[in-house]
């Protein structure tokens, strides 16, 4: 059979096969962030809107997007009080969850029932998740709404405390109302990240007041208008360290403050969670190397996660120079170069290479400190 004949068939077949430019395959892209000892690392988004408040997609789309983007769980949290579509779509606070859940069940994505209590500041907007009924929150006084949510066993968190719609200067402010809620046991966490906004003040409050840190998308539009199709990392996530992949285990972990926030390749959270994620991602493939004279030896570091870890270090050694910056690319192996400083050295020594992972933020001002022990045999060239 000649090439020409094949070519003609191929031209026809291209169409039939659906091999097509720019076409998206229906597929789930797993988010590679490792589990930690004792817990599964679940990727969750607890702040999601649909056409049943001011969102722009039919609810099942939220489950489909979550499945494709590798999420384990989402909460549907339409506004109680803000219903701009109501002249076309009669208010039904329970309905978006019902529709999304059917699709989630088909695809194995956990869909949780929530609502956004939407009030002026103070106290602002709050999500209540793990509700039994949403419509009972549709009351005049916000104190009643949050009390009724708490009464259902809901996990309640304060949304986007530095949102410029309620804080024109973008600075989060803590009001007496928040102290009141905290004392009543009706405030369990806060969004440290909402969409693309990070609130350093809030990060600090969570550490000081022992609150759960959340990072959520607050998505209104279809995901494809917000994040590149098929990429990982754009969508803000609450990482939940849970004993199981069930709604109950997620709820338990949220109340126990076992969360971290992932957004734009950055992780925000307590050291006890970020450190094992880093350790579970990284493998030093050859921790013992030989440096000959002033030549270089290369320690290879593999990173099986999807996170690019960005390391900075100040330390240098008398015997070898080491990089002051090193990016451990997600899914790749990179080189840590050790360059000899003497032609004649003949000895063996172990160095503890200390770095700060600047994109693992354990406080607003501090990255995670990590150490790589490297054993170097020095030999003349």
Closer to a second copy by Cβ: residue 12 or 210: 12
Which of 79, 81, 80, 49 has the alpha carbon at shortest distance from 62?
49
Q: What is the dihedral of CA 18, 23, 26, 27, to 10 degrees?
A: 110
Give the chain's largest Cα–Cα span: 83
Closer to a second copy by Cβ: residue 56 or 152: 56
Which helix (DSSP H) or strand (DSSP E) does residue 361 occupy?
A: strand 347-363
Q: How far is the CB of 147 from a second copy (least distance, A)?
A: 30
- Paired residues of 240 in beta bridges: 42, 259
Q: Is 28 in the site for a second copy (CB under 8 A)?
A: yes
Give the span between the Cα atoms of 98 and 92, in whole angstroms.
11
Give the span between the Cα atoms of 265 and 282, in whole angstroms.
16
Q: How far is the CB of 304 from a second copy (least distance, A)?
A: 9
Q: Is 315 in the site for a second copy (CB under 8 A)?
A: no
Using the rule CB under 8 A, give the single segment among 82-90, 121-129, 135-143, 252-260 that binds a second copy. Answer: 82-90
Using the rule CB under 8 A, give the single segment among 113-121, 203-211, 242-250, 259-267 that binds a second copy. Answer: 259-267
Closer to a second copy by Cβ: residue 139 or 327: 327
Q: How far is the CB of 320 from a second copy (least distance, A)?
A: 15
Closer to a second copy by Cβ: residue 181 or 336: 336
Buried-exposed string 27-47: b where 16+ CB fall within 10 A, e elsewhere? eeeebebbebeebbbbbbbbb
Q: Which of 33, 36, 44, 57 binds a second copy (CB under 8 A)?
A: 57
Please report, for residues 15, 91, 302, 306, 355, the alpha-carbon distance to residue 325 in angstroms, rounded to integers and kept in the order given. Answer: 49, 54, 16, 19, 9
Q: Is 21 in the site for a second copy (CB under 8 A)?
A: yes
Which residues from 262-291 bind a second copy, rule CB under 8 A?
263-266, 285-286
Which residues from 182-221 bind a second copy, rule CB under 8 A?
196, 198, 221
φ/ψ of 46, rounded to 5, equals -105, 25
Which residues from 220-239 bind a second copy, rule CB under 8 A?
221-235
């Amino acid at each position: 059979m000649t090439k020409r004949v094949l070519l003609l068939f191929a031209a026809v077949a291209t169409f039939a096969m659906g091999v097509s430019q720019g076409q998206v395959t229906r597929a789930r892209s797993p988010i590679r962030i490792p589990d930690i000892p004792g817990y599964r690392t679940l990727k969750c988004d607890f702040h999601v809107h649909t056409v049943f408040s001011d969102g722009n997609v039919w609810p099942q789309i939220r489950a489909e997007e979550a499945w494709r983007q590798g999420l384990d769980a989402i909460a549907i949290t339409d506004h109680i009080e803000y219903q701009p579509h109501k002249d076309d779509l009669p208010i039904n606070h329970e309905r978006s969850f019902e529709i999304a859940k059917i699709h989630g069940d088909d695809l194995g994505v956990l869909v949780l029932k929530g609502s956004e209590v939407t009030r002026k500041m103070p106290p602002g907007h709050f999500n209540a998740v793990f509700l039994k009924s949403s419509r009972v929150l549709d009351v005049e006084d916000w104190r009643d709404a949050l009390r009724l949510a708490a009464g259902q066993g809901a996990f309640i968190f304060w949304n986007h405390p530095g949102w410029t719609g309620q804080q024109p200067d973008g600075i989060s402010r803590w009001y007496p109302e928040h102290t009141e809620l905290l004392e009543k046991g009706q405030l369990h966490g806060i969004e440290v990240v909402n969409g693309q906004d990070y609130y350093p003040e809030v990060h600090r409050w969570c550490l000081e007041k022992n609150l759960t840190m959340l990072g959520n998308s607050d998505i209104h539009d279809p995901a494809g208008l917000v994040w590149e199709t098929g990429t990982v990392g754009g969508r803000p996530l609450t990482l939940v360290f849970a004993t199981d992949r069930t709604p109950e285990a997620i709820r338990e972990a949220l109340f126990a403050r076992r969360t971290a926030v992932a957004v734009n390749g950055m992780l925000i959270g307590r050291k006890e969670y970020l450190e094992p994620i880093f350790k579970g991602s990284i493998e030093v493939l050859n921790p013992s190397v030989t440096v000959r004279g002033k030549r270089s030896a290369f320690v290879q570091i593999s990173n099986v996660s999807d996170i690019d870890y960005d390391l900075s270090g100040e330390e240098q050694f008398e015997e070898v120079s080491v990089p002051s910056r090193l990016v451990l690319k997600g899914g790749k192996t990179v080189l840590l170069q050790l360059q000899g400083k003497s032609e004649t050295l003949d000895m063996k020594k172990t160095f503890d290479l200390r770095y700060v992972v600047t994109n693992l933020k354990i406080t607003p001002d501090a990255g995670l400190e990590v150490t790589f022990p490297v054993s170097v045999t020095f030999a003349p060239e």
